[in-house]
Amino acid sequence: DGHLNNSLGSPVQADVYFPRLIVPFCGHIKGGMRPGKKILVMGIVDLNPESFGISLTCGESEDPPADVAIELKAVFTDRQFIRNSCVAGEWGEEQSSIPYFPFIPDQPFRVEILCEHPRFRIFVDGHQLFDFYHRIETLSAIDTIKINGDLQLTKLG
C-alpha cells in the first residue's frame, strides 16, 4: 500500500491514521474464521532472532486463557516451526515436522494461514509447508490474532 509515503505528509503524520504494527500485536479477525478465509502476515525477521509466534485464538482472555486454535512458533536455535493448539486449558500434541526451515534472520517473509473445512494450510513465501487439522470445531469463534517475538510486522491482511 502506498499510503505511508504519499505526497500529502510525512510518515510521522501518516502513523496517526495508519497505526504501526507493533509487536507484541493483538488484533481482531472480523467475523472469525471460516473455510476459504485467509490470514496474511508479512514481516521481517530480526537480525539475531530466538523465536517468534503467530496464534489464532478464540478471544483475548488471559484468565481463563482463551482457546488457541493454532499457535505457530518459529524457533531459530532448533530451526523448527512448531504448531499446537490449546483447548479448555489443555495443550494438544505438538507438531514439528517440516520439509525445510523457511525463515532467515534479517530477511522478509510472508506467512499465509488458509482456513479449509478440515484444516489450516500454512504457506510461507508461497510454498505450502504443512497442514494443521482443526481441534476447535466452531471456526467462527476463532476471532483474534496474536503475534509476538523477534520480528517486525510490515503487513497484515
Which CATH number is 152's domain given?
2.60.120.200
Residue 104 inside a domain? The answer is: yes
Do the Cβ atoms of 74 and 51 come closer than 8 Å?
yes
**pLDDT tens, residue order, the chain (157 aa):** 444 444 444 444 444 444 568 999 999 999 999 999 999 999 999 999 999 999 999 999 888 889 999 999 999 999 999 999 999 999 999 999 999 999 999 999 999 999 999 999 999 999 999 999 999 999 999 999 999 999 999 999 9
Q: How far is CA 55 from CA 1, 6, 83, 104, in A?
A: 25, 33, 9, 20
Give me the number of domains the chain comprises. Answer: 1
Q: Is residue 105 part of a domain?
A: yes
Query: Is the C-alpha dihedral spanning 119, 97, 90, 53 positive or negative?
Result: negative
Question: Does 129 reside within a domain?
Answer: yes
Q: Is 2 among the domain residues? A: no
Tell whether 11 is covered by a domain. no
pTM for this entry: 0.86
| Residue-range definition of the domain harbouring residue 122 | 25-156
User: How far separated are the first and last CA of the chain, in Å rounded?
Assistant: 12
What is the DSSP code (8-state) at residue 48? S
pLDDT at 44: 96
Do 75 and 150 contact (CB within 8 A), yes or no? no
Q: For residue 29, tell me if it sits in a domain.
A: yes
Within-domain flag for 8: no
Burial category of 122 from C-beta neighbours within 10 Å (exposed 0-12, middle 13-18, buried 19 and up) = buried
Determine the Cα–Cα distance for residues 104 and 17; give it in Å rounded to an integer.
31
